[in-house]
Amino acid sequence: MSTVYNWHLGRKMKYPYQAAYPKRQFAFVFNINRCIACQTCTMACKSTWTFSKGQEHMWWANVETKPYGGYPQFWDMKILRLLDKANQGKQDWSGRVSDDPKRPYGQFDGKTIFEAERMLTPSSTRVLGYLPTDEEWNFPNIYEDNPVGPPGKRFQYHKTGVKLPEHKTWFFYLARICNHCTYPGCLAACPRKAIYKRPEDGIVLVDQKRCRGYRKCVEACPYKKVMYRGNTRISEKCVACYPRIEGKDPESGGQPMETRCMAACIGQMRLQGLVKMNGDGTWAEDRYNPLYYLVHVAKVALPLYPQFGTEPNGYYIPPRWVPREYLRQMFGPGVDEAIERYAYPDRELLAVLQLFRRSHLIIFRYEVKEGPKIYETTHRGRKLTVYNDTAIAYGQNGKEIFRTTVEEPIYVRPAKHANTI
Amino acid sequence: MPYKDPDPNDPDVLVGVALPAHAEAIREMAYVFAEEFIRLGYDGKHLLGLFKNPFYAAAHGAYRALGEEAIESIIEECIDAWGGVRFVTREGGRETEP
């Protein structure tokens, strides 16, 4: 085991390989507050990559309802339970949320999936995990938005349609793809070294020629985003639509382009990018990269289950209405500050939020040109000032991709009053 | 269909389990959807349509729990705050609606 630095955890941790970081890292921010589970991303991915025989159960991109659902079912509860068993009652954070980019969320004092030695059996096992059952893979979204019907009435359609039983409590939608982790569990576990992380963009891929289908990666990935294909007997996973990232899609004009799931999002809740990396694995300061801004400056976007220890590169703006204890378990200690800032966005944050899903090209830099005040009002007891600011997005080649501005709405006088002035 | 019926004694299967939350969680959820979609350019009529549509279970859950009047009032309040703006995107000199 080597020792690597994990900035999500704010400390060094054990990892089977020495640290090696890409020049840029594929990363994304999902705004959960906007997701209504339309599943357009899910189908965009499915129809592009996993429509063949043997891939029926594969959903590289999925949207699941929390806390009721998961794909595969119970994935997060199961791994959290294993970690708790390995280090009972000690999976805690200490310190404070701070501006230090090396430990922005304080320090995680518990054990990661690479450090749970007591639970790693046989001794050749490198990562704590489990293999989901076929049944857990096969029914994405089952019982998620609606609990089961009356017991003993299986295979019967509900007579009253929309009056299906409901969960009478809070829930939210969690969109997920592979996190292309900095310290991937799948890569660490593979006995064939068939999984690799690309040095140019940090995308994690399975070498289909080296893979022998041992499924150690499926077992080790805590997010369960590597899937086994029975008819080819090898494992497959999200490829981050790498031809699009490379600018090889004919539509891209040679510029890096967002993945299919990002580009298809009708709720405009996704922003994807390629962030600059330092030699020590932290993000290089890039103040006007929108992802850097959201994660390190505004701090509204947080990693998913950072305590797993893989340093995932998917970040989430947490939902405002969900009990904080649940969110702290899912996104770490930065939740309260993130929600406070997001609920009452300042001028720059509001401008950056307008960059989500406005173009299929990847934004490398943004600029905010301040405009005049449009109006002032109060909303839920707080003063709200809206300015006519312009957010401008630039691509890898430094050229402007688009600009978003605020305009006061134009009201068209109805025909019957057209001549009454 | 699944191979077996859900086991009500399985702690992972949250069948009819009420989760602790402060009483305002559903109202807060309705506010969030209203604010977000008004900023995206929805008007009151379309937004109410989203809340009324059972396909969008979270929004519809709030609609059923709080009632149409409460949802309308939330929408109105959010329109007062955020409805005064229209975000306009220009890509390659061409204007596109949000």
> A54, exposed or middle or buried, with CB in 10 Å at 0-12, 13-18, 19+?
middle
Statement: residue A236 has pLDDT above 60: yes
Q: Is residue A412 part of a domain?
A: no
Report the range of poorest mean pLDDT among A155-169, A354-368, A383-397, B36-50. Answer: A155-169
**Average pLDDT of span A316-320:** 96
Tell me which residue has tokens 């899910």: A42
Concatenate the DSSP letters of all residues of A95-125 into one string.
S---S-TTSTT-EE-S--TTT-GGG--STT-
**Average pLDDT of span A55-61:** 96
Statement: residue A149 has pLDDT above 60: no
Q: Is residue A388 part of a domain?
A: no
CB-based contacts of A91, cutoff 8 Å, min separation 6: A83, A84, A110, A111, A307
Across chain A, mean pLDDT equals 91
Statement: residue A162 has pLDDT above 50: no
Statement: residue A179 has pLDDT above 90: yes
Can you tell me the distance from the alpha carbon of A19 to that of A279, in angstroms, rounded to the nearest whole number?
Answer: 10
Amino acid A142: pLDDT: 79
Amino acid B54: pLDDT: 81
**Average pLDDT of span A356-381:** 92
Q: Is residue A348 part of a domain?
A: no
Q: Is residue A96 part of a domain?
A: yes
Pair A241, A223: CB distance under 8 Å: no
Q: What is the CATH number of the domain that holds A127?
A: 3.30.70.20
> A272, exposed or middle or buried, with CB in 10 Å at 0-12, 13-18, 19+?
buried
Q: What percent of chain A has pLDDT over 90?
A: 75
Query: What are φ and ψ of residue B96, in 5° steps?
Result: -125, 140
- Put simply, the answer to whether B18 touches A169 (Cβ < 8 Å) is yes
**Average pLDDT of span A16-21:** 95
Can you tell me the distance from the alpha carbon of B53 to that of A244, in angstroms, rounded to the nearest whole number?
Answer: 35
Report the range of poorest mean pLDDT among A12-21, A155-164, A304-313, B68-77. Answer: A155-164
Statement: residue B23 has pLDDT above 70: no
Residue in B6, B40, B83 closest to A143 by CB: B6
- Put simply, the answer to whether B87 touches A404 (Cβ < 8 Å) is yes
Query: What are φ and ψ of residue A385, in 5° steps?
Result: -120, 130
CA angle A378, A267, A141 (to 5 degrees): 120
Most confident of A154-168, A311-325, A371-385: A311-325
Q: Which residue has the higher pLDDT, A259 or A124?
A: A259
Statement: residue A206 has pLDDT above 60: yes
- Per the structure, how many domains does chain B have? 1
Q: Is residue B90 part of a domain?
A: no
Q: Is residue A407 part of a domain?
A: no
Distance from CA of A107 to the nearest CA of B (A): 27
Residues 276-335 of A with CB under 8 A from B: 319-323
Pair A28, A303: CB distance under 8 Å: no
Give residue B31's domain range: 25-84
- Put simply, the answer to whether B2 touches A169 (Cβ < 8 Å) is no
Pair A393, A258: CB distance under 8 Å: no
Contacts of A268 in chain B (CB under 8 A): 40, 98
Contacts of B41 in chain A (CB under 8 A): none
**Average pLDDT of span A200-207:** 98
Statement: residue B94 has pLDDT above 70: no
- Per the structure, how many domains does chain A have? 1
Q: Which residue has the higher pLDDT, B3 or A218?
A: A218
Query: What are φ and ψ of residue A406, in 5° steps?
Result: -105, 130
Amino acid B16: pLDDT: 55
Q: Is residue A382 part of a domain?
A: no
Statement: residue A419 has pLDDT above 60: yes
Q: Where are the beta strands (DSSP E) in A209-294?
A: 226-229, 234-237, 270-276
Report the range of poorest mean pLDDT among A18-22, A133-137, A273-277, A300-304. Answer: A133-137
pLDDT tens column, B30-79: 999 999 989 888 899 999 999 999 878 788 888 988 999 999 999 999 99
Report the range of poorest mean pLDDT among A299-303, A317-321, B55-59, B75-79. Answer: B55-59
| Whether A130 contacts chain B with CB within 8 A | no
**Average pLDDT of span A205-226:** 97
- Confidence band (pLDDT; 50, 70, 90) for A408? low
Instruction: Count the alpha carbons within 13 Å of A295 in the hemisphere toward its beta carbon.
Output: 31
Q: Is residue B97 part of a domain?
A: no
Closest CA to A310 of A131, A113, A120: A113
Distance from CA of B74 to the nearest CA of A (A): 10
Amino acid A251: pLDDT: 86
Can you tell me the distance from the alpha carbon of A358 to that of B95, in angstroms, rounded to the nearest whole number?
Answer: 11
Residue in B54, B91, B98 closest to A162 by CB: B54
Tell me which residue has tokens 């939210």: A172
Q: Is residue A89 part of a domain?
A: yes
Pair A67, B19: CB distance under 8 Å: yes
Pair A319, A327: CB distance under 8 Å: yes
Can you tell me the distance from the alpha carbon of A418 to that of A93, in angstroms, rounded to the nearest whole number?
Answer: 65
Report the range of poorest mean pLDDT among A68-72, B14-18, B69-73. Answer: B14-18
- Confidence band (pLDDT; 50, 70, 90) for A266? confident
Q: Is residue A399 part of a domain?
A: no
Which tokens belong to A240? 């981050």
Statement: residue A121 has pLDDT above 60: yes
| Whether B19 contacts chain A with CB within 8 A | yes
Distance from CA of B27 to the nearest CA of A (A): 8
User: What is the DSSP pairing of strand A24-31 with strand A314-317?
Assistant: parallel
Amino acid A67: pLDDT: 87
Can you tell me the distance from the alpha carbon of A384 to that of A345, in angstroms, rounded to the nearest whole number?
Answer: 9
Which tokens belong to A213? 């289908």
Give me the helix-helix angle, B57-66 and B44-52, nearest 10°.
90
Closest CA to A409 of B65, B26, B44, B14: B44
**Average pLDDT of span A1-27:** 96
**Average pLDDT of span A75-99:** 94
Can you tell me the distance from the alpha carbon of A361 to that of A259, in angstroms, rounded to the nearest whole number?
Answer: 9
Which tokens belong to A146? 């609606």
Residue in B33, B57, B84 closest to A145 by CB: B57
- Confidence band (pLDDT; 50, 70, 90) for A326? very high
Give residue A265's domain range: 2-341
